[in-house]
């Protein structure tokens, strides 16, 4: 079966480019036909015979089309400009249809791509990737890690990241497993992470051993991992300053969310993190200080540097570490079952820890909890009073040994005089509202709703107390809280209401009193006697007002100076109570003596008024005067009848 020669000739002629230039107008007559010799060769190659008819006119410029679309255009039965549907009809296969659709989607035509199109594609690709990295940083790095894992480059990537973090932070960080992306949670998971901070002489060997162990090699007998001699090691350690805390931690998993936008803003690359399964040791036995030169906590606060991490949220689960304190203190354990910290910044580390949503754990086998205190309701006066406070947290710990407080304070306060005992502590902390942050609309609606609810409730509504109420009021410091509270209103301050209850305490006078002042030396004996007399329970309630600047750069309780403030308030409360007790006892003695003298004088006046003769006889007897007409025996009988004797001092 043969095809018609005229139709085949028309298809062939569509592939021939136009001979005339675009600048000249299109002629009205038909364009010239191709050479007959070429057409004849084509017909002979096709096995066709017949006369060559004149070619029809071209309805479009064939030069603008690529080779692929020229081949598709040759399959069309008509000569007008082909459309997208025409190309889709003659296209074969998925990729050809994809090419047609992509061409039409990008430039709405089937011509060749020019320089403008290519530059637009490059710009679009670069901008889209940039936006993707800024918005979906976690997804971008997840794709990179997934590609690296598929190419078996996970060990190289883990080694490169650990070396970078070690050089930047000064802490040895080793990833013993591959970095796996979590597509469902949009996080990147780091498994089996080893974090260590030790002297520099052992850091390289530990890091190399950790990397080799992560790869599965036996490095125990390698000569490069053998330790140095004792003399050389001692000399190296002596040259290093080891007056800092050391730690070794093993973390099961760290799930992070990354944000390049926050990194460009100077807040670190990590947006939020979830840390699970922490085990390790915190060693502070190498920390030393000079007792003759007291340390200033403000000198040990960390200064802010651009690039310090600022996490939007941090979640910690299953943490257990063993703590070794200096001075031969017994080792103890500290654990966190779960902690939800809404904001965790390097600059405000301790402050953000106090502002946590909830923390549940143990400290030296004592239950520790941090949560928002519950309240039955609020009154309008309380709303007006607490208008400047952003939130309120309550820290509670029961049965902690008092020796922890002794090591955290100086030798001047009453805590250092306690030799044994336990303490139950409840701290209600009020945090100031940031003046830079405007009041949110939702918060405003919440306050209005609380005010409406409070108006229909009872007027006496307060926070639920953290401990049981006492029969007698606790020991408190003098009432000097009003100026401090007003000062806290004017400047951003943190107010801490402290309720301490010491149980089974024993106190002793310090042997060396060089650290005590003149006033402390005078009151140490009454305070120690009072605590030993009331060893079953010594309740103390005090309030501490700390400026917000004291928490800037503070990482521990000692850096903020809060422990010294608590010790000072405890001393004020105990000294005030002891002074008041002594004053009350003296006042009671003087009062009783005054009443006795007053009663004696009143009775004497009444006796003189109702029986003046007895008074006259008594005075005469005492003066040894015998009046005329009165026998001495009669006077003695009269005095005996009225029970008046020589030793009667009441008269």
**What are the tens digits of pLDDT across the range 318-340?**
999 999 998 888 999 999 999 99
Asked if residue 417 lies in contact with residue 510, where contact means CB atoms within 8 angstroms, the answer is: yes
618: tokens are 């008594």
Percent of the chain with pLDDT over 70: 63
Residue-wise pLDDT for 554-565, tens only, equals: 988 888 888 888
Q: How confident is the model at residue 418, as a pLDDT?
A: 87
Strand partners, 428: 394, 497
Alpha-helical runs (H) found in 53-136:
67-73, 84-90, 94-107, 115-135
Q: Label each residue of 392-446 as H, E or C.
A: EEEEEEEEEECHHHHHHCCCCCHHHHEEEEEEEEEEEEEEECCCCCCCCHHHHHH
pLDDT at 440 over 60: no
CA distance 502 to 566: 14
The phi-psi region of residue 327 (left if phi > 0; otherwise alpha if psi is between -120 and 50; otherwise beta) is left
Beta bridge partners of 341: 314
Tell me whether strands 358-363 and 179-182 are parallel, antiparallel or unpaired.
unpaired
Q: Provide the strand spans (E) within 89-241.
A: 172-175, 179-182, 187-197
* Euclidean distance between CA atoms 485 and 475, whole angstroms: 20
CA dist., res. 562 & res. 559, Å (int):
8
Q: Which pair of tokens denotes residue 577?
A: 């109570």
Q: Looking at the DSSP assignment, which residues form a beta bridge with residue 389?
A: 432
Lowest mean pLDDT among 134-143, 305-314, 335-344, 427-436: 427-436
| CB proximity list for 211: less than 8 A, separation 6 or greater | 159, 162, 174
Distance from C-alpha of 426 to C-alpha of 602, rounded to nearest angstrom: 55
Query: Band of the pLDDT at 386, cuts 50, 70, 90?
Result: low
CA quadruple 564, 566, 568, 571: dihedral sign:
negative
State which H helix or E strand residue 14 sits in: none
What is residue 93's DSSP assignment? S
Least confident of 216-220, 544-548, 616-620: 216-220
pLDDT at 232: 46
What does the domain layout of the chain look like in residue ranges?
5-19+30-111, 113-226+240-288+309-345, 369-581, 593-641
pLDDT of residue 632: 61
Contact 335, 360 (CB under 8 A): no
Q: Which residue has the higher pLDDT, 447 or 379?
A: 447
- pLDDT value for 354: 92
- Residue 161: DSSP 8-state: H
Torsion of CA 79, 80, 81, 84, to 10 degrees: -90
């Amino acid at each position: 079966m043969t095809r018609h020669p005229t139709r085949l000739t028309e298809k062939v002629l569509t592939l021939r480019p136009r001979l005339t230039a675009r600048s000249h107008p299109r002629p009205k007559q038909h364009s010239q036909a191709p050479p007959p010799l070429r057409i004849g060769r084509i017909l002979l190659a096709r096995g066709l015979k017949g006369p060559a008819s004149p070619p029809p006119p071209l309805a479009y410029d064939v030069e603008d089309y690529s080779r692929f679309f020229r081949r598709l255009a040759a399959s069309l039965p008509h000569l007008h400009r082909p459309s997208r549907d025409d190309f889709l009809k003659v296209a074969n296969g998925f990729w050809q249809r994809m090419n047609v659709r992509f061409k039409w989607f990008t430039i709405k035509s089937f011509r060749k791509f020019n320089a403008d199109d290519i530059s637009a594609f490059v710009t679009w690709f670069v901008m889209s990737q940039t936006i993707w990295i800024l918005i979906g940083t976690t997804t971008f790095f997840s794709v990179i890690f997934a590609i690296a894992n598929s190419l078996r480059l996970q060990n190289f990537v883990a080694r490169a990241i650990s070396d970078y973090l070690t050089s930047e932070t000064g802490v040895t960080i080793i990833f013993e497993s591959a970095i796996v992306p979590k597509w469902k949670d949009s996080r990147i998971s780091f498994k089996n992470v080893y974090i260590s901070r030790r002297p520099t002489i052992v850091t390289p060997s530990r890091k190399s051993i950790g990397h080799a162990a992560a790869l599965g090699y036996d490095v125990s007998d390698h000569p490069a991992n053998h330790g140095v001699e004792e003399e050389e090691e001692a000399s190296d350690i002596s040259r290093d300053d080891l007056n800092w805390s050391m730690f070794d931690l093993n973390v099961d998993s760290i799930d992070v969310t990354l944000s390049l936008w926050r990194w460009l803003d100077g807040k670190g690359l990590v947006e939020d993190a979830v840390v699970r399964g922490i085990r390790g040791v915190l060693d502070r036995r190498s920390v030393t200080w000079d007792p003759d030169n007291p340390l200033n906590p403000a000198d040990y606060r960390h200064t802010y540097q651009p690039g310090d991490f600022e996490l939007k949220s941090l979640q910690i689960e299953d943490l257990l570490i063993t703590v070794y304190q200096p001075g031969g203190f017994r080792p103890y354990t500290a654990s966190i079952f779960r902690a939800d910290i809404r904001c965790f910044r390097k600059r405000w580390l301790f402050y953000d820890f106090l502002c946590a949503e909830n923390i549940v754990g143990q400290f030296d086998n004592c239950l520790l909890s941090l949560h928002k205190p519950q309240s039955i309701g609020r009154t309008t006066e309380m709303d007006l009073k607490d208008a400047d406070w952003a939130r309120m947290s309550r820290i509670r710990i029961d049965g902690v040994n008092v020796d922890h407080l002794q090591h955290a304070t100086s030798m001047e306060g009453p805590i250092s005089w306690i030799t044994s005992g336990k303490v139950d502590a409840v701290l209600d902390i009020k945090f100031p509202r940031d003046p830079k942050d405007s009041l949110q609309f939702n918060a405003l609606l919440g306050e209005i709703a609380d005010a409406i609810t409070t108006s229909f409730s009872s007027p006496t509504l307060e926070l639920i107390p953290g401990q049981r109420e006492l029969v007698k009021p606790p020991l408190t410091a003098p009432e000097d809280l009003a100026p401090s509270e007003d000062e806290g209103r004017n400047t951003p301050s943190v107010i801490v209401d402290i309720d301490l209850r010491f149980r089974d305490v024993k106190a002793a006078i310090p042997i060396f009193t060089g650290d005590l002042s003149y006033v402390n030396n005078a009151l140490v004996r009454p305070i120690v006697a009072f605590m030993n007399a009331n060893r079953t329970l010594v309740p103390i309630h005090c309030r501490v007002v700390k400026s917000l600047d004291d928490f800037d750069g503070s990482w521990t309780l000692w850096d903020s100076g809060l422990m010294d403030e608590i010790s000072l308030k405890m001393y004020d409360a105990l000294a005030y109570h002891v002074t008041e007790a002594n004053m009350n006892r003296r006042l009671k003695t003087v009062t009783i003596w005054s009443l006795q003298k007053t009663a004696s004088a009143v009775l004497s006046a009444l006796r003189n008024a109702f029986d003046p003769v007895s008074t006259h006889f008594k005075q005469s007897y005492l003066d040894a005067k015998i009046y005329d007409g009165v026998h001495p025996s009669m006077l003695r009988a009269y005095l005996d009848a009225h029970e008046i004797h020589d030793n009667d001092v009441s008269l």
